[in-house]
Amino acid sequence: MPERRTVALVTLGCARNEVDSEELAGRLEADGWQLVEDAAEADVAVVNTCGFVEAAKKDSVDALLEANDLKEHGRTQAVVAVGCMAERYGKELAEALPEADGVLGFDDYTQISERLQTILSGGIHAAHTPRDRRKLLPISPVERQESAASVVLPGHGPAVPEQGPGDLPDGLAPASGPRAPLRRRLDGSPVASVKLASGCDRRCSFCAIPSFRGSFISRRPSDVLNETRWLAEQGVKEIMLVSENNTSYGKDLGDIRLLESLLPELAGVDGIERVRVSYLQPAEMRPGLIDVLTSTEKVAPYFDLSFQHSAPGVLRAMRRFGDTDRFLELLDTIRGKAPEAGVRSNFIVGFPGESEADLAELERFLNHARLDAIGVFGYSDEEGTEAATYDDKLPEDVVAERLAHISRLAEELVSQRAEERVGETLRVLVESVDEEDGVYGRAAHQAPETDGQVLLTNGEGLDVGRMVEAKVVGTEGVDLVAEPLFQGALTRGEEAGR
């Protein structure tokens, strides 16, 4: 019997990319590939790249070069680039990086097994010429669902052959409807992301994502529910809904309030302990959505709001809406309904035309917003964006100085916000247990990777995936230190009886 072909997926970038990698893993395993964690033990190393900003693109190139080095010392025979950077640059990336044996765009995902086999056999699959993926779907959102079947949407998955549970490898998600993807989990984390939609219809002047991710299109609620049920069967306790803009969910399905009705259904899935929504646009926040996010059992009162700045002049140049006072009013509304709500956001400093007064206005907002997590980025041109054509660019040293200043302020403010939580009782999902490092988890106001974590003292007997109540007794910067209120791991019956 011939040895099975092996493949490793290396994922960079955001949670959306993680979902895409698991879809690719599902397709490959269903076609007979053996998945391995270590790229050095794989015949093919597939690097799912990020193409968002220069730093992310550099990380992607570095990962490809590191994988290429394995061809001299390990089993690896081929290195293939997929993901946003591969989609965005196509032939240009292939020419600039000959170390990559293949550069595959989104349209190759449905034939990923065939493409990798061709490359592994020494053949060549020509990299694509990039195109504006916004033009692949109708301009009108309500007309997009009918056309979606002919467009590859990573993380959505088009129709797959019907297969019974016995026809698929263990742990592989079956087809659960006409738009359900095959998916293979690549780790044993109790947290998993679920793609709610793809693409974006906004035209922020600094962002190139819509051009290579395409126009906004929602997944059908039944597909999201079926995938969540399957993840719960795999031991997942928390799902995080991801897309480029979750507040637009349902607009192409004829109901912009669809998220409000979907969230309670997801929270009701047996085995799911927490549902988290990411990527929310402040200008699109609705009273009904705020109500659901702040009052639904098992739905985290968590608000990942994309503010980007608060000075009105800068926001208009960004093709965005709002100002300091309106943003603070939104936060007051949220905290009036859920005082413990978690809020995070990202900000760009040094945007073309940003004045000292604009920077002071941003500082005013940050000082009053009481955000739990803050990401700060210095502006840099992204090719193909409107902002790259602006004339009033700030010198690089000024951008760097403002970045350092606001970053220091942000670090101080999130530490102060963490200290405000001392004395609070939190529901903490245990994510790691180590004899040396201790027991760590996350509370409702902390998303994976970005928002800090909770160190559980006296956590003996706690297992990964356990949800426990704990009282915050201290802080370490943005991280919290908490004491479990119930010693040891609680059984399902004990939890139900509390």
Provide the annotated binding site.
Answer: 14, 50, 84, 200, 204, 207
Residue 195 contacts by C-beta under 8 Å, 6 or more apart in sequence?
16, 19, 155, 156, 219, 242, 243
Binding-site residue ranges for [4Fe-4S] cluster? 14, 50, 84, 200, 204, 207
401 burial (CB, 10 Å; 0-12 / 13-18 / 19+) is middle
292 burial (CB, 10 Å; 0-12 / 13-18 / 19+) is buried
**What's the half-sphere exposure (Cβ side, CA atoms, 13 Å) at 113?**
14
Q: What is the sign, positive or negative, of the torsion defined by CA atoms of 243, 244, 246, 248?
A: negative
Whole-angstrom distance, CA of residue 283 vs CA of residue 300: 21
Percent of the chain as helix, strand, coil, to the nearest 5: 40, 20, 40
Triad 357, 362, 365: Cα angle to 5°: 125
Q: What is the sign, positive or negative, of the torsion defined by CA atoms of 134, 137, 139, 141?
A: negative
Radius of gyration of the chain (CA): 23
Count of C-beta atoms within a 10 Å radius of residue 114: 12
